[in-house]
Chain A
Amino acid sequence: MASTNDPFQFQEFEEAGNLLEANRDATTISIEDDDMPERQRKAAGFTPDVDDEDPHTSDDNTELLSGQKKSAPFWTFEYYQRFFDIETHHVKERIIGSMLPWPGKNFIHVHLRRSPDLYGPFWICTTLVFALAISGNFSNFLLNSDKPNQKYSPQFGKVTIAATAIFSYAWFVPLALWGCLLWRNNKIMNSVSYSFIEIVCVYGYSLAIYIPAVVLWILPFEWLRWCSIVMALCLSGSVLVMTFWPAVREDYPKVIAAIMSAIVLLNVLLAVGCKAYFFSNPEEAALSPAPSAALELTKAPSAT
């Protein structure tokens, strides 16, 4: 019974394919990772035996995945993570879609597609706040640069005011609009209803057009400022109107008119208010020396 095989000598087990060529009907077990048996079987050139395990496991997985996403409670981190589930090209598409309104293309339906994000609104608002403060500061500096002993003051406190104005526009107006639409939905069955986050998302992205407009306002030409304001208002206003049109069109005409004009009016107020507060008029700055221009600026919001 002495064989030449020393049991303590390591034996290389050949690939399953080679073994199978010797004996076609043998079943082989491979203890390597899962794709190896597939590859070996394919290499050996015969169809795999019954994949007993795989259909069942993939069924389990698809069952888990196709069900609704587990919604975590709102005090956990994971709840907010699903609003940041976004890629760079998505953000770019949404920004461009908010700047170029296309008749018939609803921003929410085309771009958001039931997955609104909070990244865009938050960072667009923050950028707008700083752009407004910095441009306003810079334009005042340019305006008064020809005066003697001009002391440049950064007027850092204006950042806080800009932040308050823009963030309250971006959060409270959608809140009011959402409440209003909800109330109308109770009275009249609308086919289209938007969630709060979607409305916040639309408003946040609609502010994106103001960032280049605000940078343009640095140049002290009044006609340029008014042109850019009107253009920005038209673009963002039409995006907002076209987005909310399907949500209110089944309502009474008076209610539709009221809601639409409120949306547009608040937009206009924000734009004109920012321009008036942060960017002084070139004519009125030229008429009076620098310190009283600053006093006028601080008096202006209390007057309006």
Chain B
Amino acid sequence: MADEANRQFAGLSDVSISEDIPVEGDISVPMGSSSSNRQRGGEDEFSTLDEPVKETILRDLRAVGSKFIHVLYPKRSSVLLRDWDLWGPLLLCVTLALLLQGGAADSEDQGGPQFAEVFVIVWFGSIIITLNSKLLGGTISFFQSLCVLGYCIMPLTAAMAVCRIVLVGGSGTVSFTVRLVVVTASFGWSTFASTAFLADNQPAGRKSLVVYPVFLFYFVIGWMVLTFSPSQ
């Protein structure tokens, strides 16, 4: 039986590449798009050192923008977690802190939160929530969690902008009701969005232990947004 098998492969042992069969042909590496409208000067795709700065900035902006869209329609995707970045949270925090200025801060009364206080609350709060979820045995990494919590401030920042616009019209009961509704809705949206990303990485039986600090965090930010009163 073995010699039968050998007979099937009998011819192969004699194969060798002889020198008089020329090996020729064209080996060309496909360089992607045609060279006519290429902006990069002939390097491979992994080195981005030579690309123009506009391209680099646009790529980062596109990444940030896509994450904003993921917060707007929160479903269980892993884009926010996989490619975390902290540009978006920084942008949102600065915007929120700037919008919270111009309150009764220059009067002798203890007015609204100062710029630094908003920063401290947002970043310190996010760090504490991240530490909490890691101590409870979560599998999410430190910066991923900071990224998620920071991006989910976006509804509250939008609510702050809306509140400032409403306050231009007046600050009576009607405007307070409108602001209350807007802030409550965006607070709920923020909590829901961040829970959709964070709660999956926790062991079961501890999910509400992780969600509660997030709820408290956005509640405090919502209170800061709601109680903003412009200087008269």
The tally of residues in A whose CB lies under 8 Å from a CB in B reads 35
B227 within 8 A of A: yes
Which residues on B sit within 8 Å (CB–CB) of A130?
A: 216, 219-220
- Interface stretch (choices B11-19, B31-39, B108-116, B156-164): B108-116
Centre residue among A3, A8, A83 by max chain B CB count within 10 A: A8
Instruction: Please state if A151 and B2 are interface contacts (CB–CB under 8 Å).
Output: no
9 contacts between A and B (CB under 8 A): A81-B135, A88-B206, A123-B212, A123-B213, A127-B216, A130-B219, A151-B232, A153-B110, A154-B112
Which residues on A sit within 8 Å (CB–CB) of B70?
A: none
Q: Mark A1-15, 1 if CB is under 8 A from B, else 0.
A: 111011110000000
Instruction: Please state if A153 and B135 are interface contacts (CB–CB under 8 Å).
Output: no
Interface residues of B in 181-208 (CB under 8 A from A): 205-208
Complex Cα spacing A84 to B227, Å: 34
Complex Cα spacing A200 to B207, Å: 24
Count how many pairs of residues, one from A and one from B, have CB atoms less than 8 Å apart in the complex.
82
Centre residue among A3, A154, A294 by max chain B CB count within 10 A: A154
Instruction: Please state if B1 and A88 are interface contacts (CB–CB under 8 Å).
Output: no
Which chain B residue has the least Cβ–Cβ distance from A153? B109
Q: Give min CB distance, B224 to chain A, whole Å.
A: 7
Which chain B residue has the least Cβ–Cβ distance from A1? B1
Complex Cα spacing A294 to B206, Å: 43
Q: Mark A83-112, 1 if CB is under 8 A from B, else 0.
A: 111111101000000000000000000000
Which residues on A sit within 8 Å (CB–CB) of B219?
A: 130
Interface residues of A in 120-135 (CB under 8 A from B): 123, 126-127, 130, 134
Q: A1-B1, A123-B216 are in contact. List 4 more A-B contacts (CB 8 A).
A: A130-B216, A137-B227, A153-B229, A156-B111
Which chain B residue has the least Cβ–Cβ distance from A120? B209
Instruction: Please state if A151 and B229 are interface contacts (CB–CB under 8 Å).
Output: yes
Which residues on B sit within 8 Å (CB–CB) of A3?
A: 1
A226 within 8 A of B: no
A157 within 8 A of B: yes
Which chain B residue has the least Cβ–Cβ distance from A82? B135
A245 within 8 A of B: no
B69 within 8 A of A: no
